[in-house]
Amino acid sequence: MVDTPAKILKENVWYSNPVFIQILGICSTLAVTNNLMNTVIMTVGLMFVTGFTNVTVSLLKTLIPRKVRMIVQTLIIAFYVIIVDILLRAYLPDVSKALGPYVGLIITNCIIMGRAEAFAQSNGPLLSFWDGITSGLGYMWVLMIIAFIRELLGFGTLFGFPVLPAGMTHWTIMVMAPSAFFLLGTFIWVAKSIMLKAEGGK
Amino acid sequence: MKKDGVVYTVLFSFLVAFIFVFFLSLAYGATKGKVAENKRLIMANAYLSAADIPVPDPAKAEEIFKKVFPDFNASAPYNEAMVNGRDIIVSPFQGNGLWGTITGVIGVTKDVNTMIGLSIVSQNETPGLGGRIDEKWFQDQFRGENIKNGIEVSHGGGTGDTDPDNGEVDGITGASRTSSAMEVMLNNKIKMLRKELGGGN
């Protein structure tokens, strides 16, 4: 099976989307999506880390002894996450404050290790980079939709700008993590329905 | 050398760890000054806000800070300053919130009878609920509040308590635990300051 960039894009963004098909990275999906700004920074951070981890793993794959493969991958992931954390701390202190421990938790996001193991271990660096970026993209658009609904109903704002009338009662549940469960569930339902319909129509 | 042999594995692990950590320490060293500067700026803004001094440009807070607190001592329990002809005390406080430690700065008059201001430096409360202690409407309620009998964070209409004489401020709807945590840590701080300054009643 030869993977073309277009096919990888389609797979990662839709057919094997890391969030709603592989159900990976759910912890952060619940945690950061009550605010669009935080979601954007978090997902861009993840995209960066996944992309570069994949390149590095792909470059080193012939050198890594099998016994310590996972440990080395974790080390590489941690390296890029700390780089992101240091950059945020130095140049975007407000964002770093708002995201708090979540940046460090990118290390434990299963999407990164999943892609390193499943893709970068057996593919070239360029294709692996593309795979990492598109996986991040698949993660990003799902989280953005959830964050859009949560911030709109929970705060009445989008990216911090008020869009709903001031008199609106904010939905407290949308600010809390459980609402992401409901929204993600609904999202999976809708996405799967569309997918099944498309299959049936073939 | 055998790729799955012990010697190669140990050597490889050591080398990889060494190289990555080396680059990390380079990145850390390169941004250390910037990070420390950001931290100083956050503290300067917090102290100025607690002292109720307007800061037109938060990025230049340090200049104003040096003027207001010329002999600032970060390790002292409190610092004094003269603002608009009033002797005021600013002091850092901390306490347990719902999820983690909340730290901030409180400003009071020297007789510890009136609150000048409050600002939050760090908190890990629920974003959008307890996290709203960061917001201006919540902190502005404390300005000029009479604290002879301590402070009370109460259930209110959710729009803020504008009466400065009753020693009450509005808590945050949906964040009762954070609100009462704030009440406890502020009252502890007020009591402590009163003891240290030997005044008040």
The domain ranges of chain B are: 75-197
Nearest to B27 among A34, A86, A172 (CB): A86
Average pLDDT over residues B173-195: 88
pLDDT of residue A202: 57
Closest CA to B62 of B95, B36, B84: B36
pLDDT of residue B162: 65
- CB of B163 closer than 8 Å to CB of B123: no
Taking the C-alpha atoms of residue A114 and residue A57, their distance in angstroms, rounded to an integer, is 12
- In Å, how far is B111's CA from the nearest CA of chain A? 34
Q: Does the distance separating the beta carbons of A83 and B4 come in below 8 Å?
A: no
Predicted confidence band of residue A55 (pLDDT cuts 50, 70, 90)? very high
A177 → chain B, closest CA residue: B126
Q: What is the mean pLDDT of chain B?
A: 84
Predicted confidence band of residue A61 (pLDDT cuts 50, 70, 90)? confident
CA atoms within 13 A on the CB side of A181: 4
Tell me the chain A residues in contact with residue B174 when contact means C-beta distances shorter than 8 Å: 172, 175
- CB of B75 closer than 8 Å to CB of B55: no
pLDDT of residue A189: 93
CA atoms within 13 A on the CB side of B49: 22
pLDDT of residue A14: 86
**What percent of chain B has pLDDT above 90?**
16
Q: What is the mean pLDDT of chain A?
A: 86
pLDDT of residue B201: 46
| pLDDT higher at A47 or A108 | A47
Assign 3-state DSSP to chain A and report helix, strand, coil percentages, each to 5: 75, 0, 20
Taking the C-alpha atoms of residue B92 and residue B104, their distance in angstroms, rounded to an integer, is 6
DSSP character for B60? Answer: G
A168 — contact with chain B (CB < 8 Å)? no
B149 — contact with chain A (CB < 8 Å)? no
pLDDT at A1 over 60: no
- In Å, how far is B161's CA from the nearest CA of chain A? 19
B129 — contact with chain A (CB < 8 Å)? yes
Nearest to B4 among A35, A66, A79 (CB): A66
Q: Does the distance separating the beta carbons of A64 and B38 come in below 8 Å?
A: no
- CB of A66 closer than 8 Å to CB of B4: yes
DSSP character for A14? Answer: I
Q: Does the distance separating the beta carbons of A65 and B4 come in below 8 Å?
A: yes
- CB of B65 closer than 8 Å to CB of B51: no
Taking the C-alpha atoms of residue A84 and residue A174, their distance in angstroms, rounded to an integer, is 28
Predicted confidence band of residue A32 (pLDDT cuts 50, 70, 90)? confident
Tokens 């730290």 locate to: B103
- Considering A47-56, A178-187, B32-41, B162-171, the range whose residues carry the highest mean pLDDT is A47-56
CB neighbours (10 Å) of residue B29? Answer: 9
Average pLDDT over residues A118-140: 91
Average pLDDT over residues B32-55: 87
pLDDT at B199 over 60: no
Q: Does the distance separating the beta carbons of A35 and B127 come in below 8 Å?
A: yes
The pair of structure tokens assigned to A153 is 């109903």
A95 — contact with chain B (CB < 8 Å)? no
> Counting every residue, how long is chain B?
201
| pLDDT higher at A170 or A91 | A91
Distances (CA, A) of A39 to A46, A196, B119, B125, B127: 10, 29, 26, 18, 13
pLDDT of residue A134: 93
- CB of A39 closer than 8 Å to CB of A144: yes
| pLDDT higher at B68 or A54 | A54
Size of interface A-B (CB pairs under 8 A): 69
B40 → chain A, closest CA residue: A93
User: How are beta strands B101-109 and B115-122 bridged, if at all?
Assistant: antiparallel
Beta bridge partners of B106: B91, B118
Helix (H) or strand (E) holding B101: strand B101-109
> Counting every residue, how long is chain A?
202
**For the segment B99-151, what is each residue's pLDDT rounded down to a tens digit?**
889 999 999 888 888 888 899 988 888 777 788 888 888 888 888 888 888 88
Q: Does the distance separating the beta carbons of B8 and A65 come in below 8 Å?
A: yes
A86 — contact with chain B (CB < 8 Å)? yes
pLDDT of residue B158: 55
Tokens 């999943």 locate to: A114
Nearest to A89 among B35, B128, B129 (CB): B35
Write down the H helix ranges in A21-65: 26-32, 36-60
B23 — contact with chain A (CB < 8 Å)? yes
Helix (H) or strand (E) holding A144: helix A125-155
Taking the C-alpha atoms of residue B139 and residue B123, their distance in angstroms, rounded to an integer, is 14
CA atoms within 13 A on the CB side of B160: 14
Tell me the chain B residues in contact with residue A173 when contact means C-beta distances shorter than 8 Å: none
Closest CA to B17 of B5, B28, B25: B25
Taking the C-alpha atoms of residue B171 and residue A169, their distance in angstroms, rounded to an integer, is 17
Tell me the chain B residues in contact with residue A179 when contact means C-beta distances shorter than 8 Å: none
ipTM of predicted assembly, 2 dp: 0.75
| pLDDT higher at B149 or A116 | A116
Start-to-end CA distance of chain A, whole Å, equals 22
Q: Which residues 6+ apart lie within 8 Å of B134 measured at CB?
A: B120, B123
pLDDT of residue A48: 93
CB neighbours (10 Å) of residue B157? Answer: 8
Average pLDDT over residues B45-58: 84
| pLDDT higher at A60 or B162 | A60
DSSP character for A25? Answer: S
Q: Does the distance separating the beta carbons of B27 and A34 come in below 8 Å?
A: no
**For the segment B70-82, what is each residue's pLDDT rounded down to a tens digit?**
778 777 788 888 8
